[in-house]
Structure 1
Amino acid sequence: MKALFTPSLLTGDEMIDTHHKELFKRANDLFESIENKESAEKVQETLGFLADYTTYHFSEEEKLMEEVQYPKTEDHKKMHAALVEDVKNLALKLAAEGPTKDFEDQVNQKVVEWLYTHIKVNDQELAEYKNVRSQMDNLQ
């Protein structure tokens, strides 16, 4: 399984796009560790790297939302919190069952597919809002 970062996922915001590419890299590292049949501990460590970077990215993105006074900040934060909770549940599943095919499928569904949808809808909207706001600020 592989998570592909495609040009359609670009938001036009350098920080956000760089972070998203890193999230996809870390998701692929996780898939690779599963496919290589690495130990449950190694897969858990790789999932931890993904979880840590996800938390970092969300923190930075939420700071950006506050800076530009994004009107949908609270809803966006709730979406972030839902993914963080899903990743925690995946860690529990991994600890209980090991790196099974079902675990891999759940990572794809709950993390990768979530990222595709969230980026294409919510993050691209945020980046567009930031861009418009910046243009308006420059006119004043």
Structure 2
Amino acid sequence: MSIEFDKALETGNDLIDTQHRELIARVNKLTADGVVGKEKNVAVQTLDFLMDYTDFHFNAEENLQEEHAYPLLDAHKKQHAVFVKAVDDLREMLEEEEGPTEAFVEAVRKNVVDWLLRHIQIWDKQVAEYIKEA
């Protein structure tokens, strides 16, 4: 279930692409550490590790959009908030269980992996294109 950073995920903006590589590495760590049978504390630490970088990345991306007066900044922030809530929900799910469950693994796939791929390919590429044209 890991993500490979390839041409399809490149936005053409060096800052965004560099940060996406790191974000994807952390998501891949979550998919490796969040499998059924892994210890709860390992999955929780990996979720926290992901959120630390996610906060940094989302702030940098939003600041970049602000600097360039990106017209869809508020909508983009809402997209980021959806991701943060999904990760918070995953953390709650882990807290209620002994460790990662099948439901947790499926939620990671849907709410982290799939979401991130869609977000990069649609939202972040639009930002990079806007900045490039500005």
Into which bin does the TM-score normalised by the smaller protein fall? over 0.9
Provide the alpha-carbon RMSD of the alignment: 1.3
Displacement of 1:5 in angstroms is 2.1
SS in 2 for 1:70: coil
Asked if the contact 2:83/2:112 (under 8 Å) is kept, the reply is: yes
Q: CA separation in 1, counterparts of 2:38 and 2:114?
A: 24
Q: How many residues of Structure 1 are paired with residues of Structure 2 in the alignment?
A: 133
- Give the C-alpha shift of residue 3 in structure 1: 2.1
Distance 1:72 1:13 in 2: 17
Which residue identity lines up with residue 115 of structure 1 in the other structure? L
Partners of 2:52 and 2:110 lie apart in 1 by 19
TM-score computed with the length of structure 2 as normaliser: 0.94
1:50-73 per-position Cα deviation (integer Å, ceiling 9, x unaligned): 111111100000000000000000
| Displaced runs of 4 or more, over 4 A | none
Structure 1 runs not aligned, ≥5 long = 134-140
Q: Counterpart of 1:127?
A: 128
Q: What's the TM-score, normalizing by structure 1?
A: 0.90
Structure 2: segments with no counterpart, 5+ residues: none
Tell me which residue corresponds to 1:72. 72
Tell me whether 1:27 sits opposite 2:27 in the alignment.
Answer: yes
Rounded to whole Å, the distance in 2 between the matches of 1:28 and 1:112 is: 9
The alpha carbon displacement at 1:35 in A equals 4.0
What is the aligned partner in structure 2 of residue 104 from structure 1?
Answer: 105
Using CA pairs under 8 Å that are at least 6 residues apart, name the structure with larger relative contact order, 1 or 2.
Answer: 2
Identical amino acids, percent of aligned pairs: 41
1:25 Cα offset (Å): 0.6
| Alpha-carbon displacement from aligned partner over 1:75-129 (angstroms, at most 9, x marks no partner) | 0001101110111011000111221122111111001111111111110000000
* Deviation string, structure 1 residues 28-56 (Cα, Å, up to 9, x no partner): 11111134843101110001111111111
